Amino acid sequence: MNAARAIICLALIYCACSKPRVAPAAAAAPPMRSPQNEWAVVPSAARPVTWSTAVAGPKRSDLDQALAKPLEYPWHMFDRKTNERHEARTCGDLLALHESCYPMDVPGDGGAPTELFENDWSIYADYVVACRITVAIQNAKPARVDYLGAFPLDNARLREIPAGVIPTPSDEEEKQLKAASAKGVSWKVWDRHIHVTKTTGRGVTVESPDTYSFLSVYGRADFNGDGIEDLLLWRDGRGQEGTWNSTAGFVLTRLSARGRVEILKVIE
Amino acid sequence: MQLGSSRTEAGPDRPAPTSGSVAGHVITDARVFFRDINRWEGKYPFMYVDTRGFVTTGIGNKLGSPQEAIELPWRHATTGLPATPAEVRSAFQKVLADCADFQSRHPDGKKAAGGPWYADKTDLVLSSSKVDELAYSRIDGFRKQLRELFPGFDRYPVPAQRALFDMVYTLGKKGLANKFPTVVAACRDGHFEIAAKYCHRKAQANEHREGDARNVATKNLFDEAANLTAAVRSLTREVRL
């Protein structure tokens, strides 16, 4: 009996260690369930940091170099105090300049810089969030235990993902969503109409009459140093009407096998 | 009485595409709203793909299909010659293809390119007057939605109308009604000072924008409306005394 347990244990460790470093965005390792149908703890000394190909290539060096990768086009950044112009050509540049500078459009014909329009502000904001997520994954550590399990993004997961992940343009509703999340209210409980409308290799689209969101798992690792594996969920949300949108990364975790999924941190 | 009448704000140099009177009060000149959305949303005469993946032109004017694009009077920027339907269709498909290509190279959150990136992707442009005409047409649509949500909309102080117009543009009618019930109720009751307190939109483009300028502008408009309303009430009391 002991030998059998040892073999199972070794097999579990092997499975955990042999997981590819790059986790597909919408899929993950097959779930391991205990007889009680709960997520099993994987007793590994180090569950490696994994990330989506959306973040960086498969090698650790790809992740390390992600901040230095040239952007499609530079952002023209202007210092708030000196009005000095800089160019953000990489994520690293952008994050370094973001706090002290603001972006402007610089016409190709040498004309005066102009304020960004709404659409371009949204894109700039997406860039900032995406770059911050890369940094978060770079700084994450391998975990010792995992209570989240496979966590495939599907309709069942909407009953687990906290209501605080729901995109909203309203400060009032945001407060309500945070309070509801703290009480364990899930996205599906808050908005019974929400459901998956499209699944691709990169993630899922979830919609309700009010909102439209794209969700993708960007990484799994220990993001807060407690040894427990967390999941970094990208959420690009907007209304079904209007122009507002909201992009953020949510670090989700489950602190025990029977625990609920909680939001550890929001990257925005 | 129309508070803060828009006639003087509209500017004297251009005809007002939509103005007139309904039930004895002046309807706010559409140019007032046009100036506001032009300030925030910007104006591109070419086709681009917006953050939602829709081919768009002008001031956020969505082109739902190649056919919708073909119905517009595109011309070649280089020669000034009118574009043929086939050329318009081709341009529509090209910006979508360019967007898809951009996304394939940027599978992360940096998934969309800004409007200026599309400036040289096609050669077709709309005239400035056509872009404005499209915008005015949408302004009429938004104003209709606002009247449905606020039966007394045309009697609101102009600053309140402008603030609500900006909100319905960014949130949609449903978004304004469902996500900002306090603002809706406050405006219906004429308490624009309450609307000023609760009108902040958590849209990321607003929050990253320098100084949260769009939200601040909306709040200031509601505050201005509250001050105007208070002044009129005070004046009315004095006249009665």
- Report chain B residues whose CB lies below 8 A from the CB of A242: 168-172, 175
User: How is residue A232 written in tokens?
Assistant: 């970094």
User: Can you tell me the mean pLDDT for B120-138?
Assistant: 95
Check whether B151 has a pLDDT greater than 60.
Answer: yes
Q: A208 CA to chain B: closest CA distance, Å?
A: 12
All structural domains of chain B with their residue ranges:
30-240
Cβ distance of A246 and B112 shorter than 8 Å: no
Distance CA A30, CA A33 (A): 10
Please tell me the predicted confidence (pLDDT) of residue B115. Answer: 86
Regarding whether A172 and A116 lie in a shared domain, the answer is no
Best mutation target, B110, B145, B174, B176, to test chain A (most A CBs within 10 A): B110
Instruction: Please indicate, yes or no, whether residues A197 and A251 belong to a single structural domain of this protein.
Output: yes
Q: Do A162 and A263 sit in the same domain of this protein?
A: yes
State yes or no: pLDDT of A97 exceeds 60.
Answer: yes
Per-range mean pLDDT, top range of A69-73, B22-26, B193-197, B213-217: B193-197
Q: Tell me: do A166 and A257 sit in the same domain.
A: yes
Where residue B143 falls among pLDDT bands split at 50, 70, 90? Answer: very high
Q: Nearest CB to B205: which of A105, A122, A133? A: A122
pLDDT at A45 exceeding the cut of 80: no
How high is the mean pLDDT of chain B? Answer: 86
CA–centroid distance for B51 within its chain: 16
Average pLDDT value for residue range B222-227 = 97
pLDDT tens-digit map of A206-242: 999 999 999 999 999 999 999 999 999 999 999 999 9
User: Which of A125, A173, A210 lies at the smallest CB-CB distance from B174?
Assistant: A210
Examine the domain organization and report whether A133 and A166 are in the same domain. no
Q: Are residues A260 and A168 in the same domain?
A: yes
Interacting residues of A225 by C-beta distance below 8 A, sequence separation 6+? A141
Edge-first strand listing for the sheet containing B55-58:
B44-49, B55-58, B61-62
On whether any CB of chain A is under 8 Å from the CB of B102, the answer is yes
Residues A205 and A166 in one domain: yes
As its CATH architecture, domain B30-240 has Orthogonal Bundle (1.10)
Same domain, A78 and A133: yes
Q: Angle at the Cα of A262 (from A190 to A177), degrees rounded to 5?
A: 35
Best of A52, A121, A193, A215 to disrupt the B interface by mutation (most B CBs within 10 Å)?
A121
Same-domain check for residues A242 and A168: yes
Give the per-residue pLDDT at B34.
95
pLDDT at A7: 52
A165 and A134 within one domain: no
- Which residues contact residue B7 at a Cβ distance below 8 angstroms, ignoring those fewer than 6 apart? B26, B29
What is the mean pLDDT of the segment spanning B70-77? 97
Residue A17 lies inside a defined structural domain of this protein: no
For A209, nearest residue in chain B (alpha carbons): B174
Tokens of B107: 């599978």
Q: For residues A99 and A186, state if they share a domain.
A: no
Domain with A124, as residue range(s), is 50-139
Domain end (from A139, A170, A198):
A139
- The whole-number pLDDT of residue B51 equals 81
Predicted TM-score (pTM) of this structure: 0.81
pLDDT surpasses 50 at B191: yes
State the total domains in chain A: 2
> Is A248 part of a structural domain of the chain?
yes
